[in-house]
Amino acid sequence: MTGFTRDDLIHKARLAKASSVTLRRYREEDRQRAILSIRDALAANQQDILVANARDVAAARENELSAAMIDRLTLTEARLRGLGEALKEIAASPSVLGQIEHEHTRADGLLVQKKRIALGVIGVIFESRPNVLIDCAALAIKSGNAILLKGGSDAEHSNAILGHLVQDAIASFLPRDAVQIIPGGDRQMTVEMVKLVGLLDLVIPRGGEGLIRMIHEHAKVPVIAHAKGLCHLYLHADADFDKARAIALNAKVQRPSVCNAMETLLIHQQLDDGYVLDLLQALEEAGVRLRVDERVWGLGPKPGWEQAVDEDWDTEYLDKILSVRVVASEDEAIDHILKHGSHHTEAIISNDPSVIQKFEDAIDASCIAVNASTRFNDGGELGLGAEIGISTTKLHAYGPMGAKELTTTRFVVQGTGHCRV
């Protein structure tokens, strides 16, 4: 959208704010119907969506974006069906609004309750992935919030059609203005958006380190960052080979362009050299390029291996590239993760309960995967239907944020004429 100004942004934010007040009066049934209406609209407009998305993908190729970034940008029939299933799951999930978290009755008969309420207006700033728009809109609706959605310029056509589709789909059940689309491509508008004190109650950025840093520098409203996913898989000395092979391939290869993909493999030095070489060969055969430390290099080197440099341990590749290091113990693995991890997802393969417990106790991450792939740290996989982001900080949520994480609580006290003495 050309000519979009700060006044336009404020106007949209005010529409969302006004809608957030009226949303409190709607029933759970209205929210469910609105979400299912989005699902129906996705199915009915599938070809138009794919045509718009194809324009974005073609521009990405022309601009020589990486294969990983193009994968994040691309919508397919299968991915649209997956969105539809997520919407169905979100709609059917238990209501979070009005949920009583705790209640007790005082000795004088006063009833004290702690109930869930919506946050108000949420702003989500995201890059590349147009499916994020649908997930976030649905979760905002489920949790009773209005939402401003600002995507990137690389998904301009996809976001435009999806945004209009969502607004039209919910209009028969909820205020159309509860979902507002802000055009991408203008970083200054992002800066202005995160300063909307009194209009936005929370900003959730989903993107690269540059975007997150800029928002933290300028934001005057609360921020929950979905920062990078520098995820590790540690193979302990007793790690079963077949289990390790399957999990490593899934964590790295299934979809390397996403934030819960493995970026570093840590291997206990007691594992047999043949074990290690067979595992690395399986990864290479799946198209993974390896950047290895000196101890792994000493096993080869093999064609295609590169020696890791310091920055590799801090790099989120989002591609079929993997850093590999041999460690002397679980303590060395833990120290490496504490130094280089991003608080996203960390995984261990072991049969030793004491080692597993030590790993869980020592590692600070939003999800710990024990004998399982890092790819499970996802709202849909963890039973949330979808996620508005994966918080890598602890306030006010840690890990995937579903509808419940988009609410807060307040106290309601019920008396029969009670007065404080």
CATH number of domain containing 150 = 3.40.605.10
CATH code for the domain in which residue 296 is found: 3.40.309.10
Q: What averages of pLDDT result for each successive group of 10 residues across the chain (421 residues)?
A: 85 98 95 98 98 97 89 95 95 96 97 97 92 96 98 94 98 98 90 97 88 92 89 98 97 93 98 96 96 94 91 95 98 98 97 98 97 96 89 90 96 96 90
Q: Within this chain, do residues 193 and 298 fall inside the same structural domain, yes or no?
A: no
Alpha helices in 45-129 (DSSP H): 46-62, 67-73, 77-92
| Per-residue pLDDT at 2 | 58
150 with 12: CB under 8 angstroms? no
- 248, 360: one domain: yes
- The answer to whether residues 300 and 365 belong to one domain is yes
**Res 42: pLDDT:** 98
C-alpha span between 420 and 265 (Å, rounded):
61
In a domain, 127, yes or no: yes
My answer on whether 18 and 156 are in the same domain is yes
Report yes or no: 131 and 83 within 8 Å, Cβ to Cβ: yes
The verdict on 43 and 132 lying in the same domain is yes
Neighbours of 106 (CB within 10 A): 11
349 lies in the same domain as 244: yes
Question: Could you tell me if 145 and 273 lie in one domain?
Answer: no
Same domain, 41 and 134: yes
- Asked if residue 390 is part of any domain, the answer here is no
Domain count, the chain: 2
Q: How far is CA 157 from CA 39, 70, 75, 161, 238, in A?
A: 19, 14, 12, 6, 50
Q: How far is CA 297 from CA 30, 48, 285, 288, 307, in A?
A: 60, 50, 18, 16, 7
Domain-embedded: residue 381:
no
Q: Can you give the pLDDT at residue 1?
A: 45
Q: How many CB atoms lie within 10 A of CB 341?
A: 23
Closest to 201 in 3D by CA, of 160, 129, 144, 142: 144
Pick from 315, 318, 307, 359: which is nearest to 340 by CA? 315
On whether both 183 and 241 belong to a single domain, the answer is no
Residue 391 lies in a domain: no
DSSP state of 102: E
Category of 105 on φ-ψ map: left (φ > 0), alpha (ψ -120 to 50) or beta = beta
Which has the closest alpha carbon to 289: 271, 276, 307, 272?
307
Domain that holds residue 243: 231-376
Q: Which amino acid is present at 149? A: L
The verdict on 294 and 343 lying in the same domain is yes
Tokens found for residue 324: 């590999």
- Residue 385: per-residue pLDDT: 84
pTM for this model (two decimals): 0.90
Residues 156 and 39 in one domain: yes
3-class DSSP state of 392:
coil
Nearest to 85 by CA among 138, 130, 49: 138
